[in-house]
Structure 1
Amino acid sequence: MTLDPVQLATFQAVIEQGSFDAAARALHVTPSAVSQRIKALEQVVGQVLVRRARPCVPTDAGRPLVRLGGQVALLEDEALEAARGALRGHARTRVAVVVNADSLAGWFLPVLTALPDVVFELHTDDEGHTAELLRDGTVMAGVTTERVAVQGCRVQRLGAMRYLAVAAPAGHRAWFAGQDLTTAFAAAPMIRFNRKDTLQHRFARMVTRHDVDPPTHFVPASASFTEAIRLGLGWGLVPESVARTDIAAGRLVELTGGDNHLDVPLYWQYWRLESAVLSALTAAVRTAAAAALR
């Protein structure tokens, strides 16, 4: 069985654009043509591939074709680039990447300047969940805590991001000074990035040997997360590179006197393709990670 490349590209457009109408506009065809192509592809595969929702999403059967469509598009872009040589005015290669928010706010973003002819589509998620976007084909590469390669991907260890548990000086005095740590962590307000963020709970369990369930604020942006701690809303784990500056300036205090920290190992996973763009991106990521991570 051979998949029709036009049908596959149309399926990819529906998933990327989120609807049949938007895909039709992107492909410069009618919505009817898009619908016919998707139905024809589903008949070939023998499965429903698109869940007609808002936005449209792939079914379990459709996810492998999302990845295949992205791989075909990447290789086609690179082949056209090589064939055209120095010709100007052509479309740039697009690469979708997922990165955890702290890496994106810290060491990762300058990596992209190493590939000036590439257009990037960045996704963010908790580092423990970024691999899901690799599995379903949404992205071509990502920073993740998952050390076992996702099917169809290569994996390389980048290093570890170190986090320090900190609070504003007034918060430290109110919640932790002179307190038993188990009692303090059970009562002191906690800052979490979102409900996927378990770093604070992991740290509290590490130092107290108990699970805690304190009052919790959710602040889903790296800079605002740290600012919330500076303002005294609660305590939280902040990347060492940020925390050390604030500690030296007296804006933050390390909760456990510098004896404890949490290291989160990070890995780079990317599609197993002979792609010049992915190879160059991987080299840039490894160089930046070597300078920024432990």
Structure 2
Amino acid sequence: PAFVAQHFAHGVTTEAIAHAPMMTYDRKDRLQEQWLQRQGLASRQSPPKHFVPSNDGFVRGCEAGMGWGMHPRWLIQRQLGAGTLVELLPGTGMTMPLYWVHARSAQTSLERLTDCVMAAARQWLVPAEKA
């Protein structure tokens, strides 16, 4: 909340976004840029970035006010409820497809792991037809 008050006191605008530090998982992470485009907030000026290739570190960095970033809602539900994290623009989340990919040559040896991943996905993720 303090980060939002400091960087977005006059609203989430293209200019404010261009200057507010942004968290990214790694150099391939484009979720934040995709969200900015969908909100009409993309700018030619790239905001300062912090690369944090750790799920827990990424969340904790945002809680500490290092920057803003995209998180799976289920991962930060507790922080949203406690008010230690807030949405920049409430109700503007994104649905992203996830895929489980592995080499066919390893299919037999990964069968149990694949079953566990699929069971967890059914429990925690929204099916594509409902997204």
Find the counterpart in structure 2 of residue 271 from structure 1. Answer: 103
- Distance in 2 between residues matched to 1:274 and 1:214, nearest whole Å: 41
- Distance in 2 between residues matched to 1:185 and 1:179, nearest whole Å: 10
Find the counterpart in structure 2 of residue 227 from structure 1. Answer: 60
Letter in 2 for 1:242: L
Q: Highest Rg: 1 or 2? A: 1
CA RMSD in angstroms, aligned pairs only: 2.0
The answer to whether residue 5 in structure 2 is matched with residue 173 in structure 1 is: yes
Matches within 5 A, 1:72-83: none
3-state SS in 1 of match to 2:101: strand
Find the counterpart in structure 1 of residue 89 from structure 2. Answer: 256
* 1:193-246 deviations in Å (ceiling 9; x for gaps): 221111111111111252451111122211111111111111111121122210
Unaligned runs of 5+ in 2: 127-131
- Is the CA contact 2:13–2:41 (under 8 Å) kept in the aligned structure 1? no
- Distance in 1 between residues matched to 2:61 and 2:116, nearest whole Å: 32
- Is the CA contact 1:181–1:208 (under 8 Å) kept in the aligned structure 2? no
3-state SS in 2 of match to 1:191: strand
Q: How many residues align?
A: 125
One of 172, 185, 210 as aligned partner of 2:42 = 210
Normalized per residue, the structure richer in strand is: 1
Q: TM-score, normalised by structure 2?
A: 0.83
- Higher relative contact order structure (alpha carbons within 8 Å, sequence separation ≥ 6): 2
- Distance in 1 between residues matched to 2:120 and 2:109, nearest whole Å: 17
> What is the CA-CA distance between 1:274 and the residue it aligns to?
8.9
- Give the share of equivalent positions with the same residue, in percent: 36
Find the counterpart in structure 1 of residue 16 from structure 2. Answer: 184
Matches within 5 A, 1:9-20: none
The answer to whether residue 85 in structure 2 is matched with residue 246 in structure 1 is: no
Q: TM-score, normalised by structure 1?
A: 0.39
Find the counterpart in structure 2 of residue 287 from structure 1. Answer: 119
Change (3 A) 1:223 1:275: closer
